[in-house]
């Protein structure tokens, strides 16, 4: 597959999202291992494009999404948030977050998240919005927006209640608690908890199983199920993103970011 969407980075550096193929499987890899694959705006845009490229590739039947190094995705790049009060990009009506979630939901080909390490915040949302999630047994997953003074607006408020019910969703989203793999699988948040040494083998075995089936039947079945997710996202996402946008302008958010970078407890006033 020809790569035509590389961002402007230093010549010696790789793109922040890689797209490779293994037989009939396209592998999309978040590639900022030094930042635990935290997502900055260029990576945000490139991830969306890589997924669309894989979906449009006529030789691809299954897409695997994973992270380079020891993490799947640590979420938004917190170190870049200090002083930041906007995430939509100036005069945009809809945020980049809405664009990415809409794109993931509308991908026709089955997408398996191979969660090889921590998946937090936006990283958790991205994984959970895909079709099947295999989580390494030494990984943890959770949405810690509240811990940096933000509303869980980038999709967490839409997908978590669908997967685990409103009560559990509120417990996890309002505390920002991280969940181990076994618990995540037992409550239905992810499809399976898999021994770390077997994760890749099991994910690609599933990819091969899906690829061997009649492709239209697989894709149309996925599209039918995803109608519920599309309706939920349409009801929830714009409002929750608007709340998140407002929370970015609070003093508590800036204090939370400073506390994170300074490795101390935050002191919050409700402003």
User: Which of 51-65, 94-108, 181-195, 220-234 shows the lowest per-residue confidence on average (mean pLDDT)?
Assistant: 94-108
Asked if 87 and 248 touch (Cβ cutoff 8 Å), the reply is yes
pTM, entire model: 0.89
- Between 27-31, 93-97, 166-170, the lowest mean confidence (pLDDT) is in 93-97
pLDDT tens-place string over residues 52-96 = 999 999 999 999 999 999 999 999 876 655 555 554 455 554 566
Q: In the prediction, which pLDDT does 80 show?
A: 56
Give me the number of domains the chain comprises: 1
- Mean pLDDT of the chain, nearest integer: 91
Structural domain contains residue 204? no
Q: Range with the lowest mean pLDDT among 76-80, 148-152, 173-177, 245-249?
A: 76-80
Residue 6 domain-assigned? no
In this structure, is residue 269 part of a structural domain? no
Residue 207 counted as domain residue? no
The domain of 163 spans: 17-197+213-262
Residues 96-150: pLDDT tens digits? 678 899 999 999 999 999 999 999 999 999 999 999 999 999 999 999 999 999 9
228, part of any domain:
yes
- Which of 53-67, 189-203, 240-254 is least confident? 240-254
CA-based nearest residue to 118, from 174, 79, 67: 67
Q: What are phi and psi of 21, to 5 degrees?
A: -125, 145
Label residue 8 by pLDDT band (50, 70, 90): very low
Dist CA 264 CA 76 (whole Å): 19
pLDDT, position 13: 79
Which CATH number does the domain housing residue 120 bear? 3.90.226.10
Query: Is there a domain that residue 270 lies in?
Result: no
Confidence band for 188, pLDDT divided at 50, 70 and 90 = very high
Residue 6 has pLDDT above 60, yes or no: no
Amino acid 15: pLDDT? 97
Q: What's the DSSP call for residue 263?
A: T
What separation, in Å, do the N-terminal and C-terminal C-alpha atoms of the chain show?
Answer: 50
pLDDT at 180: 98
DSSP state of 94: S
In the predicted model, is pLDDT for residue 239 greater than 80?
yes
Question: pLDDT above 70 covers what percent of the chain?
Answer: 89
The answer to whether residue 208 sits within a structural domain is no
258 occurs within a structural domain: yes
Burial of 267 (0-12, 13-18, 19+ CB in 10 A): exposed
Which stretch, 7-11, 24-28, 149-153, has highest mean pLDDT?
Answer: 24-28
């Amino acid at each position: 597959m020809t790569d035509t969407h590389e961002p402007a980075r230093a010549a010696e550096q790789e793109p922040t999202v890689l797209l490779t193929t293994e037989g009939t499987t396209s592998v999309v890899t978040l590639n900022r291992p030094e930042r635990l694959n935290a997502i900055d705006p260029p990576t945000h845009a490139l991830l969306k494009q890589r997924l669309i490229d894989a979906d449009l590739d006529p030789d691809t039947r299954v897409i695997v999404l994973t992270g380079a190094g020891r993490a799947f995705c640590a979420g938004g790049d917190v170190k870049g948030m200090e002083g930041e009060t906007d995430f939509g990009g100036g005069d945009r009506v809809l945020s980049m977050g809405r664009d990415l979630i809409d794109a993931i939901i509308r991908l026709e080909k089955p997408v398996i998240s191979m969660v090889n390490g921590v998946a937090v915040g936006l990283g958790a949302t991205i994984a959970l919005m895909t079709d099947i999630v295999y989580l390494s047994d030494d990984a943890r997953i959770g949405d810690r927006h509240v811990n940096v003074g933000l509303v869980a607006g980038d999709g967490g408020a839409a997908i978590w209640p669908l997967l685990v019910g409103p009560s559990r969703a509120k417990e996890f989203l309002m505390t920002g608690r991280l969940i181990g793999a076994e618990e995540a699988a037992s409550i239905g948040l992810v499809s399976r908890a898999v021994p770390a040494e077997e994760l890749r083998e099991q994910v690609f075995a599933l990819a091969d199983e899906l690829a061997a089936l009649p492709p239209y039947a697989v894709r149309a079945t996925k599209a039918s199920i995803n109608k519920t997710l599309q309706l939920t996202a349409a009801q929830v996402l714009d409002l929750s993103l608007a709340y998140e946008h407002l929370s970015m302008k609070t003093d508590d958010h800036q204090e939370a970011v400073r506390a994170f970078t300074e490795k101390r407890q935050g002191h919050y006033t409700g402003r």
